[in-house]
Structure 1
Amino acid sequence: MTKSVQGGGHVPNKLKVLVPDAHLRDLDVERGVTGELIDYQVYDEIDAAAIPDEEWTSCDAILVWHRMKITREVVSRLSRCRMIVRVGVGFDNVDTAACSERGIPVSNVPNYGTTEVADHAIAMMLYLARGLGTYQARIKADPAHGFVAENVPVVRRLRGGTFGAIGMGRIGTAIARRAAAHDMHVIYHDPFLPEGHELGLGYERVGSLDELLARADVVSLHVPLSDATRFMMSDAQFQAMKPNSIFINIARGKLVDVDAVYRTLLSGHIAAAGLDVLPNEPPMPLPPLLEAWRNGEEWLAGRFIVTPHAAFYSEAGYLDMRTFSAQMLVDYLVHGRLRNNVNPAWQHATPSTR
């Protein structure tokens, strides 16, 4: 167990905020926002049992990253907790239903990293569609004879192609704008948006996922992870994709069956795939797709790119994420202003369950 206490120990008149899985230990950014109002209890754990029970029961709030799961059992121990802030966008590691039953609001940080994620998705598309991996490998292996443009596994014109966005929230919109700037025709599917949404965007809305998959030359996935979306892209969906298309996932790893990606690439049905997120992170043991990529198997050369859940990252984006998280703590705990709440049902908890 590793612990670091910010602020010289818990002071009774301070708010106690537990950080169970600190990605960075210093919390200088957070303390720069909250000052002397908050006493941070900082751990670097992935198992809730590794943190003393008293820390859970006595905290006024929790600032959680992505490695710790705030399960129903953990929530049952939160005697004083008034708020949970997820330092990031996805909140599938927090049992929001259990928090609602206990009257604990959960907030995330949706207002950072949008441009970084959108740029990353388009960078993956360009890397694959323009054969950059193949060209780099050829020249590196043989600068003289590898200095040729022809006979690349994947290289194509993007202009006039169809870009299919699954989900059209803020990130989907940012990615679609960038695809349109490459003279691509943008279509999207998002059943949760109201009728007429497409009129404001100027993009074509399609009525079903199957229609989008059948028409798109590039499919980009950006929806939240839930029971309804878990492994929404599996064998049937990949087979429904337009032959020789490209698939990109910069959203959540468990939206996609990575073994199905392996099978569809191996079969040659789709041309290429780019993944920034994986079902297990780090991906150990390696799934067959990553084994084939790591071993440099010829059939996969130039057809796959993987990055380490890094689409969100830039120094500026990281600073935004940490700053906004700390601001939300002060806004609610001190001023009573709740922002970016993802479980509005918390307000309906009965006093006996709080």
Structure 2
Amino acid sequence: MSDKKFKILVADNCSKSGLDEGLETYNNIQIDIRTKHTEEELIEMIPEYDAMIVRSATKVTAPVIEAATNLKIIARAGAGYNNIDVEVCNKKGIAVIITPTGNTNAVIELTLGLMLSWVRHISIANQSMKDGKWEKKKLKGSELKGKTLGILGIGRIGAGVSKICQAFEMKTIAYDVFVSKEYAKSIGVDLYEDFNEFLSEVDFLSLHVPVTDSTRGMIGKEQFEIMKDTAVIVNCARGAVINEKELYDALSNKKIGGACIDVYSKEPASKEDFPYIGLDNVVCTPHLGASSKEAQVNVAMLAANGIAQYLNDNKLINCVNEKSIK
């Protein structure tokens, strides 16, 4: 352990127990929790800190990074980091780490929850009962058993979703250019090489890819035309993977059966920005993927511990810009 003393700014709400757990073997690190600030306030406070932890609320912009004269590392308590200007961090030699494993199970469970809500009309039935109605015949649903789940991206989350869906006796297929057929077979998934053929087979299409130049808007009108008119798309990844205007058109015109959406290209999301939210064949949630008590403890612990290991031992874990800062 280094003899130096370090200070971490926790700029967004994080689990205090998770932060403490992550630093339990380090006594040379001070944590300051200072949330709900403007960019100007962040610029004013950041120079005194060696490290910073953020979630999605704080935008770590170029002016903030330029003002961070002592900053050595930024930890994103979560997986996505599009709220951090990584290019400017690269120029200043500031490491950016993420905690992708901390919320894996939470996202897997929400994906299944959305699918079950859609096939059994759970959210609609709940509201109907609260409105004093008894609509048993109207709300007849269907089952997941025997249906084909198509997984776009079989990393940690996609593989986890496939495992649970197999327990529901669903057939699981996938499209992922970065994995081998041998790996897919080892987890009980049939890997497709032809994207269009893959899309034509699915009853449920679950998205588990990041937003990149190649994935942005990769699901749109052309893909909806290929899919079954009963197919349901499930997105707990990133909103921008789908062309959301074309999603609305497909849902409105019954080109696909429905959608379960947790993420949006603009958040907070509203019906004014995304009119498909108001459609009857859509189940929506406000980006709850990582919002479990357990996940929030996990990502806070991993973020704090990752910072501590870098500041004390120069060890980087899940660093997104390691090659650029060396």
User: What is the TM-score of this pair, normalised by structure 2?
Assistant: 0.88
Q: Which residue matches 2:176?
A: 190
- CA contact 1:85–1:107 (8 Å) conserved in 2: yes
Q: Secondary structure at the match of 2:67?
A: coil
Rounded Cα–Cα distance in structure 2 between residues aligned with 1:171 and 1:38: 32
Paired residue total: 322
CA RMSD in angstroms, aligned pairs only: 2.6
Greater mean deviation of Cα atoms: 338-347 or 272-281: 338-347
Q: Secondary structure at the match of 1:74?
A: helix
Q: Name which of 261, 284, 288 aligns with 1:310.
A: 288
Q: Which residue matches 1:273?
A: 259
Q: Secondary structure at the match of 1:179?
A: helix
Post-superposition CA distance 1:286-328 (Å, at most 9, x none) = 32525x62xxxxxx33x21111211222222211111111111
Alignment of 1:120-199 (within 5 A): 120-141=110-131, 143=133, 146-149=134-137, 151-152=138-139, 155-194=141-180, 196-199=182-185
Unaligned runs of 5+ in 1: 1-11, 294-299, 349-354
- CA contact 2:20–2:301 (8 Å) conserved in 1: no
- CA contact 1:16–1:38 (8 Å) conserved in 2: yes
Q: Which residue matches 2:19?
A: 30
Rounded Cα–Cα distance in structure 2 between residues aligned with 1:228 and 1:105: 25
Q: Which residue matches 1:256?
A: 242
AA matched with 1:51: L
- CA contact 2:18–2:298 (8 Å) conserved in 1: no
Q: Name which of 71, 74, 77 aligns with 2:61.
A: 71
Question: Is 2:224 the counterpart of 1:246?
Answer: no
Q: Name which of 302, 309, 324 aligns with 1:324.
A: 302
Unaligned runs of 5+ in 2: none
Q: Which residue matches 2:190?
A: 204
Q: Secondary structure at the match of 2:313?
A: coil
Q: Secondary structure at the match of 1:265?
A: helix
- CA contact 1:85–1:106 (8 Å) conserved in 2: yes
Relative to structure 1, the CA distance from residue 78 to residue 285 in structure 2 (aligned partners, 3 Å threshold; closer, same or farther) is: farther
- CA contact 1:258–1:287 (8 Å) conserved in 2: no
Greater mean deviation of Cα atoms: 280-289 or 258-267: 280-289
Question: Is 2:317 the counterpart of 1:339?
Answer: yes
Q: C-alpha displacement at 1:202, in angstroms?
A: 2.6
Relative to structure 1, the CA distance from residue 75 to residue 136 in structure 2 (aligned partners, 3 Å threshold; closer, same or farther) is: closer
Post-superposition CA distance 1:201-247 (Å, at most 9, x none) = 23111114322222100000111123332233233333332211111
Q: Which residue matches 1:90?
A: 80
Rounded Cα–Cα distance in structure 2 between residues aligned with 1:318 and 1:189: 30
Higher relative contact order (Cα pairs below 8 Å, separated by 6+ residues): 2
Provide the identity percentage. 26
- CA contact 1:102–1:346 (8 Å) conserved in 2: no
Larger radius of gyration: 1
Rounded Cα–Cα distance in structure 2 between residues aligned with 1:259 and 1:191: 26
Relative to structure 1, the CA distance from residue 75 to residue 155 in structure 2 (aligned partners, 3 Å threshold; closer, same or farther) is: same
